[in-house]
Chains A and B, each alone.
Chain A
Amino acid sequence: MKVNDIYEKKQGEKLFLLGNEAAVRGALEAGISFASTYPGTPSSEIGNVLARIAKDAGLYFEFSVNEMVALEVSAAAAASGLRSFVFMKHVGLNVAADAFMSTAYTGVRGGMIILSADDPSLHSSQNEQDNRIMAQLAGVPVLEPSNPQEVKDFMVYGISLSEQFEIPVMIRTTTRVSHMRGVVELGEIKPGKKEGFFKKEGIGFTIVPAVARKLRQNLVEKLQKIAILGNSSPVNRVIAGNSQNKVGIITSGASYNYVQDLVNEYSLPVNILKLGLCYPFSEELLKKFISNLEHIIVVEEVEPFLEREVLSLIGQEGWQKKVHGKLDKTFPAIFEYHPDIIRKGLAKVLQIEIPEAEGLAAELDDLKPPARPPVLCPGCPHRSTAYALKKAIQSLKIKKENIVFSNDIGCYSLVLQPPYQMADYCICMGSSIGIASGLSKATKQKIVAMIGDSTFFHAGIPPLINAIYQKTNMMVIVMDNRVTAMTGGQPNPGITTTVSGEEGPTISIEELAKAAGAGLVRVINPDNLNDSQEVFKEALQYEGVSVIISRSPCVMFVPRKAERVTYQVNQEKCTQCLICLKQFNCPALYREADGSVHINYLLCTECGYCVQVCPQNAIEVKK
């Protein structure tokens, strides 16, 4: 498949789409003309695809500076009558929470979808929060698709629901849906409105208390109506087994897939209610489904969200029915599900045996695969920055326990591992500087904050202003690799290229730092290890807030130099001191069985850092 197929293919054709790609097609079929995001796994591919096709497909798209701004711009577009789409990873919604809660109150005019990509089992995240609870807290309806086809279809359904009730609608995916690929039958693309108009009528969008009280009432009424609509909504499906069955399963999202496959494969005697609209809760539908059942199994990820609703409904009705799920430990309380987990849970409740397939019993227990933690790429400028910093710390004889590294969210978090171990504290986007401020005030230790360029723009500026204003002592290193790398190479305000590929204004990190009043501001090029080390030495001894911008482009997203060089290890000069391997730690270097050091040319990026690192000058240009 080619990316352009996502908007060029016609109604009725089929594509093998990733959940995230299906969201883009769904946006086009829903007549959405405005989209925004801040990238984050597992939602990132939505933005990557939109960035490539938005112009040709005729919609406005931006990588906003952070999730709150992304939500605000899309909310404003919807208030102006356009259909809009904002998407982010689950923890992104925490950043956007203030705007999210209030947008539930103000409501929208054009339809608005807020897609939250949750990450059960924390494949690429710092927590596994269930954002259905965030939606309930805000009073925003939640749709939960199970596969790419539903992701696309729910985009279209969500927009109509949003417009009918003038309320933003959340689509909650999980990693296993966002990153699931499946056959998707396409619908018709509807061109969206090109231009909005903000009408100054009605109760308005300024939520001073008197207005907000009224909006609060409106919101509750909207949710009651949506709950009633849910009783007959096509996204809530009873998959009838048999009226004689005494066991029923209520499920949503990826969990439904596991349930349906097991029920089919083993012809299990159960009825299934698959909920697409998970909030607000459609009580009449539920009552009808469970009234003749004795056992209800609730299969959902991550929190017992539907399970508690089922229990409260049963309590309200005064019924005697057993509910099985997370709360009675039929299923684990945390982490994502797997078919094997569901198989065991269903077998237990149904009191039947569902045997697992037989293994090979090959007795391999004493053989272990090597640990393969994610690692900075060969040629990564972050490694070189960390190495120069390490050398500066060593030359100033600062003891390990006397220097604390406050890290942030990005590739550079990988300096957590040996041999660098430069991440003592890292909790969320932009936290490096705020945490560093607290450490600086609470302790007498040396404090270093490391933050990426994109993360600095996202949430690093207010804490930097605070750090300076509160007169803290710290060194802030902006790891400026000219791109948002971890999520796949998106632009940010520090670089000139915009989504459409046009030149944009560049926001200067050093000018921002100077304007905020940082006493020592330096830009270094980590490609030069010695010079970088000298600047770090100066900054480590500086009293006050220093900001060092270490600027060199990411090796993944910047084309290789036109002039190629090949390096080699001169085995006569090499003393096998292993500084290149054990202290610098480039993954393109390796040892043969005889102990000699070599370069793996599949991985080498010809950065030349190792040449500077080698004390014997044993790494040379191959002629």
Chain B
Amino acid sequence: MSIKKSYQIYIIGVGGQGTIKTATIIGEAAMAQGLNAVMSEVHGMAQRGGTVVTELKIGDVQAPLVDKHSADLLLVFEPSELLRAQDLIGKNTHIITSCSSIIPFTVSLGISEYPDLDKMFERLRTKTSHLFSIDAERIANEIGNIIVANIVILGMAAATPRFPVKKEAILASMKQNLPARSLDMNMKAFETGYQEFFTITR
């Protein structure tokens, strides 16, 4: 019988949204807490506006790639990208998704369609109670800069049950991995996302 050896995180977004930075913060925090962490990143051509995936496993494992339907946590930085990550979602997956769309040029040119997100959320909600959408971009803008949207989502993720890394370790890791001048803004973004989870699950 299978015993689950790791906590599996899958982060999907569009080039430039900070998937790698977010996962690195979690991974280094896990290491500081004495846990093993392995992570897989995408660099190169795909970064120029394309879909970007970062995978992270925390625990006694070798490979960073998330197994089919086995993600414990799915972070979606651009909502339509959730559809590309369907195979990773299982019964116990906590899904946290931004609700701000980034419309690619293929849609403007009429060679591709943007999906109906309301339908997507509605159908998912009939199957899982672990789906949480958050207007991370609006919150980030209110805090001061749209670039901290990923940290808002990270804050919310850190509040989910079973998340294996302590909040203090994440905050310490943020200090190591983010520029000093934007640290206050990022701390605020994290805390807002963290509290938001309890607000919507209350």
Name A residues whose Cβ lies closer than 8 Å to a Cβ of B.
1-2, 14, 16, 18, 41-42, 44-45, 123-124, 146-147, 176, 179-183, 254, 256-258, 260-261, 264-266, 338-340, 343, 356-364, 367-377, 411, 414, 418-419, 486-488, 581-582, 585, 587, 589-591, 602
- Contact B62 A357, beta carbon cutoff 8 Å: no
Chain A residue with Cβ nearest B70: A357
Enumerate 9 A-B pairs (CB-CB under 8 Å) in ascending A order.
A123-B44, A182-B39, A261-B5, A339-B67, A357-B91, A359-B68, A367-B120, A374-B48, A375-B105
Chain A residues in 8 Å Cβ range of B105: 375, 581, 585, 587
Question: Sorted from nearest, which 5 A-B pairs have the closest CB atoms?
Answer: A41-B44, A124-B44, A257-B63, A257-B62, A357-B69
Say whether, besides A261-B61, A265-B2, A375-B104, A602 and B146 are in contact (CB < 8 Å).
yes
A171 to B69, CA, bound (A): 34
- Contact A360 B89, beta carbon cutoff 8 Å: yes
Question: Which of A364, A375, A585 has the most chain B CB atoms closer than 10 A to its own CB?
Answer: A364
- Contact A360 B127, beta carbon cutoff 8 Å: yes
Looking at the assembled complex, report how far the CB atom of B194 sits from the nearest CB atom of chain A, in whole angstroms: 22
A75 to B64, CA, bound (A): 35
- Contact A372 B40, beta carbon cutoff 8 Å: no
- Contact B49 A375, beta carbon cutoff 8 Å: yes
- Contact A362 B124, beta carbon cutoff 8 Å: yes
The interface bits of chain B over 158-178 (1 if a CB of A lies within 8 angstroms of the residue's CB, else 0) are 000000000000000000110
- Contact A374 B46, beta carbon cutoff 8 Å: yes
A312 to B63, CA, bound (A): 30
- Contact B83 A16, beta carbon cutoff 8 Å: no
- Contact B40 A176, beta carbon cutoff 8 Å: yes
Say whether, besides A368-B115, A372-B14, A16 and B67 are in contact (CB < 8 Å).
no
Chain A residue with Cβ nearest B29: A16
Chain A residues in 8 Å Cβ range of B48: 374-377, 411, 414
B115 interface neighbour in A264, A357, A369, Cβ under 8 Å? A369
B86 interface hit (Cβ, 8 Å): yes
- Contact B27 A587, beta carbon cutoff 8 Å: no
The interface bits of chain B over 19-45 (1 if a CB of A lies within 8 angstroms of the residue's CB, else 0) are 000001001100100001111111111
- Contact B49 A367, beta carbon cutoff 8 Å: no
- Contact A182 B38, beta carbon cutoff 8 Å: yes
- Contact A340 B67, beta carbon cutoff 8 Å: yes
A374 interface neighbour in B28, B45, B123, Cβ under 8 Å? B45
- Contact B91 A179, beta carbon cutoff 8 Å: no
Chain A residues in 8 Å Cβ range of B91: 357-358, 360
B109 interface hit (Cβ, 8 Å): yes
Say whether, besides A16-B37, A418-B111, A590-B108, A181 and B24 are in contact (CB < 8 Å).
yes
The dominant DSSP class at the A interface is loop
B181 interface hit (Cβ, 8 Å): no
Say whether, besides A340-B67, A357-B69, A591-B108, A18 and B41 are in contact (CB < 8 Å).
yes
Looking at the assembled complex, report how far the CB atom of B48 sits from the nearest CB atom of chain A, in whole angstroms: 4
- Contact B113 A179, beta carbon cutoff 8 Å: no
B65 interface hit (Cβ, 8 Å): yes
Looking at the assembled complex, report how far the CB atom of A383 sits from the nearest CB atom of chain B, in whole angstroms: 11
- Contact A339 B65, beta carbon cutoff 8 Å: yes
> Knowing that A41-B43, A123-B44, A367-B116 are A-B contacts, what are 6 other residue pairs whose CB atoms are under 8 Å apart, sorted by A's residue number?
A124-B43, A124-B46, A266-B2, A362-B124, A364-B120, A589-B108
- Contact B5 A180, beta carbon cutoff 8 Å: no
A182 to B120, CA, bound (A): 35
Chain A residues in 8 Å Cβ range of B90: 357-360
In chain B between 49 and 97, which residues have their CB closer than 8 angstroms to a CB of chain A?
49-51, 60-65, 67-70, 80-84, 86-87, 89-91, 93
Chain B residue with Cβ nearest A342: B63
Name B residues whose Cβ lies closer than 8 Å to a Cβ of A.
2-5, 14-15, 24, 27-28, 31, 36-51, 60-65, 67-70, 80-84, 86-87, 89-91, 93, 103-109, 111-116, 119-120, 123-124, 126-128, 146, 176-177
Chain B residues in 8 Å Cβ range of A123: 42, 44-46
- Contact B31 A183, beta carbon cutoff 8 Å: yes
A180 interface neighbour in B40, B46, B47, B68, Cβ under 8 Å? B40
Chain A residues in 8 Å Cβ range of B38: 147, 180-182, 257
- Contact A371 B42, beta carbon cutoff 8 Å: no
Chain A residue with Cβ nearest B128: A360
Looking at the assembled complex, report how far the CB atom of B80 sits from the nearest CB atom of chain A, in whole angstroms: 5
A250 to B109, CA, bound (A): 50
- Contact A146 B108, beta carbon cutoff 8 Å: no
Chain B residue with Cβ nearest A146: B62
Say whether, besides A367-B120, A374-B46, A590-B103, A181 and B41 are in contact (CB < 8 Å).
yes
Chain B residues in 8 Å Cβ range of A257: 38, 62-64
Chain B residues in 8 Å Cβ range of A362: 86, 89, 123-124, 126-128
A487 to B44, CA, bound (A): 6
A342 to B7, CA, bound (A): 20
Chain B residues in 8 Å Cβ range of A585: 105, 108-109
- Contact A183 B37, beta carbon cutoff 8 Å: yes
B62 interface neighbour in A16, A260, A338, A372, Cβ under 8 Å? A260
A153 to B11, CA, bound (A): 30
- Contact B109 A1, beta carbon cutoff 8 Å: no
Looking at the assembled complex, report how far the CB atom of A8 sits from the nearest CB atom of chain B, in whole angstroms: 14
Chain A residues in 8 Å Cβ range of B4: 265
A500 to B40, CA, bound (A): 30
Chain B residues in 8 Å Cβ range of A361: 127
A44 to B43, CA, bound (A): 9
Looking at the assembled complex, report how far the CB atom of A182 sits from the nearest CB atom of chain B, in whole angstroms: 5
- Contact B62 A364, beta carbon cutoff 8 Å: no
- Contact B46 A16, beta carbon cutoff 8 Å: no
Chain B residues in 8 Å Cβ range of A587: 49, 104-105
Chain B residues in 8 Å Cβ range of A486: 44-45
- Contact A581 B108, beta carbon cutoff 8 Å: yes
A180 to B65, CA, bound (A): 10
A376 to B15, CA, bound (A): 12
- Contact B63 A339, beta carbon cutoff 8 Å: yes
A602 to B128, CA, bound (A): 33
- Contact B114 A370, beta carbon cutoff 8 Å: yes
Chain B residues in 8 Å Cβ range of A179: 40-43
